[in-house]
Amino acid sequence: MFKLVAENLHYAEGPRWRDGNLYFSDFFLKSVMSIDSSGNQKKIADVPNQPSGLGWLPNGDMIVVSMLDRKLMKIKDDNLELYADLSNLTPYRCNDMVIDVNGNAYVGNFGTYQHGKGVTPTVLIRVDTRGNASVVASRLDFPNGTVITPDGKKLIIGETYAGRLTSFLINKDGNLSNRRVWAQMIPRYYYFISRCSRFLGIYPKEGSGMPFPVPDGICLDEGMGVWVASPTTSEVIRYEEGGKITNRIATPNRAYACMLGGNEGKTLFVCTADTSDPEEASSKLSGKIYSIDVELPKVGCP
């Protein structure tokens, strides 16, 4: 049974659990927030160019994706400092991010200038601990939620518009290799129909024309299962490698991101909202965060 953790949010994304607190970005409040175990909310920092993915460097510094200007910012003493500028590597809004135990950040982007329209294959960007940015993967269909296995050797990323989870091996230098489909969430025939429709400029409105789940935010558990927030079907789904579904839980509203946390790592937090459309989401307070207990605890990054 879901419990309500927070409400009256615009659009919560990038949930992360750390030191007994749940952190998240509210896109249209343009702030990074935290919630403690008593439900008290705190503003961590304002991010004028819209915050998204969150993470921490090995020294404890907090990093946030600044979406609209395509930068990574360091939050220090309630202020923002430039950590890395990604604007020369992608023209599209940056989005989710995962930081590995060595401090390498992997950052995805929308692959479009407009919400849900004109989507093209795009890149995944790696930022090393010196703030140097480079492209480590290309031809990704909206690279979104990302996890890294506990041994630090594999990265799994959700390709939202391809309806699949894709894995890479992480080389010692932080670059990626050996790309594979980890789990195909939508049938391949539907994926090709969707691609053809987009080529013709036909885009389904969010919540219609897509009868299958797609990955937005994701997280990893001890059984190497990936929990996926699916906004198209309003649920969280646990996948194993190869595409087997072991758990499927309907959410009170469209699910956009999820994260395991809590004292034992077995609490699944889910960010929901009526829509992700910027005009609609910024004008209403439909965003809520729920939690539900699951069997296996969080592992890996984030």
Rounded Cα–Cα distance for residues 165 and 131 (Å):
27
pLDDT tens track for 41-80? 999 999 999 999 999 999 999 999 999 999 999 998 878 9
Q: Which structural domain, as residue segments, surrounds residue 37?
A: 3-293
- Determine how many CB atoms are found less than 10 A away from the CB of residue 284: 14
Residue 248 lies in a domain: yes
Residue 298 lies in a domain: no
| Residue 101 maps to a domain | yes
In a domain, 288, yes or no: yes
Sign of the CA dihedral 182, 183, 189, 195? negative
What's 166's domain CATH number?
Answer: 2.120.10.30
What are the pLDDT digits (tens) for 144-187?
999 999 999 999 999 998 899 999 999 999 999 999 999 999 87
* Dist CA 45 CA 102 (whole Å): 24
Number of domains present in the structure of the chain: 1
Output the pLDDT for position 200: 41
Q: Does residue 302 form part of some domain?
A: no
H-only helix segments in the chain: 188-199, 278-282
**DSSP letter (8 states) at residue 117:** B
Beta partners for residue 12, in sequence order: 26
- Report if residue 121 sits inside a domain: yes
